[in-house]
Amino acid sequence: MGAVANDPSGDVEKDRTGASRASATATPQSTEGHTVTYQLILRHLAKFRDGATALLDLFAIHAPAADADQAAPVDSGASAPAVPKPVAQEPKSPLEIRIERHMSMVDQALCQIRDLNPEHKKKLELAPEVRDQILTKERTIHDIVGAELHFWAAAIENSPLDKFDQTEQAWVRRVIRLAKIIGVDAEHKEHLEFLEAWASQEHS
């Protein structure tokens, strides 16, 4: 048999036909692929939307409480230890002020005498200027003790049923001791004896 000559036009027609078919077949596949991709994207967007909605709802629930906590004033005293308030002291009576003033004057005079004669020498052994200063301090104590003997003896005699508090009793007993140590003149001797009798009855 003789060889059949190839027809170039036929091959071209075949290529066109095959290309047309391939193009027709590829077009639906590409459309389907895009459709699947869009659906996946829409699903993911829906999930993001639902998650964002839930997150906003969660913020809406807890945000008022958080705002209230931030707006509430901080109570600094809650964490700090409680500091006890100072107890208000009652005003001192004129009698208490008198006792404290005279007691302070006596204590000051006694300290000065001790500093002037730390070795407790006899007055004749001291220098004249030191001896004069000590005599002045002793005179101050003597005057205070005499005035207190007179005051307290009169107070007790005029109000024998009145009871003195601990401060007053302690001061009267101290005045009696000082009077015995430094001695008193005849004017205050009777007052001293009266207070000694009163003190013995108070302790009996």
Q: Which two tokens stand for residue 57?
A: 């709802």
Which residue has better confidence, 170 or 17?
170
What pLDDT is stored for residue 138 in this prediction? 93
Asked if 105 and 163 sit in the same domain, the reply is yes
- Burial string for 102-141 (b: 16+ CB within 10 Å, else e) reads bbeebeebeeebeeebeeeeeeeebeeeebebbeebeebb
Tokens 């008198």 sit on residue: 98
Domain-embedded: residue 161: yes
Q: Residue 137 maps to which CATH number?
A: 1.20.1050
pLDDT tens per residue across span 141-200: 999 999 999 999 999 888 876 778 888 888 999 999 999 998 888 889 999 999 999 888
Q: Which two tokens stand for residue 109?
A: 């005079």
Asked if 130 and 35 sit in the same domain, the reply is no
Asked if 20 and 103 sit in the same domain, the reply is no
Domain-embedded: residue 100: yes
Asked if 27 and 124 sit in the same domain, the reply is no
Q: Are 151 and 102 in contact (CB under 8 A)?
A: no
Asked if 110 and 56 sit in the same domain, the reply is no
Q: Are 188 and 179 in contact (CB under 8 A)?
A: yes
How many domains does the chain fold into?
Answer: 2
Q: Which two tokens stand for residue 138?
A: 């002793």
Asked if 43 and 100 sit in the same domain, the reply is no
Tokens 């005279």 sit on residue: 102
Domain-embedded: residue 135: yes
- What is the pLDDT averaged over residues 68-77? 50
- Domain range spanning residue 35? 16-65
Asked if 191 and 119 sit in the same domain, the reply is yes
Asked if 141 and 197 sit in the same domain, the reply is yes
pLDDT of residue 79 exceeding 60, the answer is no
Asked if 124 and 37 sit in the same domain, the reply is no
pTM of the complete model beyond 0.75: no
Q: Are 149 and 195 in contact (CB under 8 A)?
A: yes
Q: Which two tokens stand for residue 94?
A: 């004129």
Asked if 107 and 159 sit in the same domain, the reply is yes
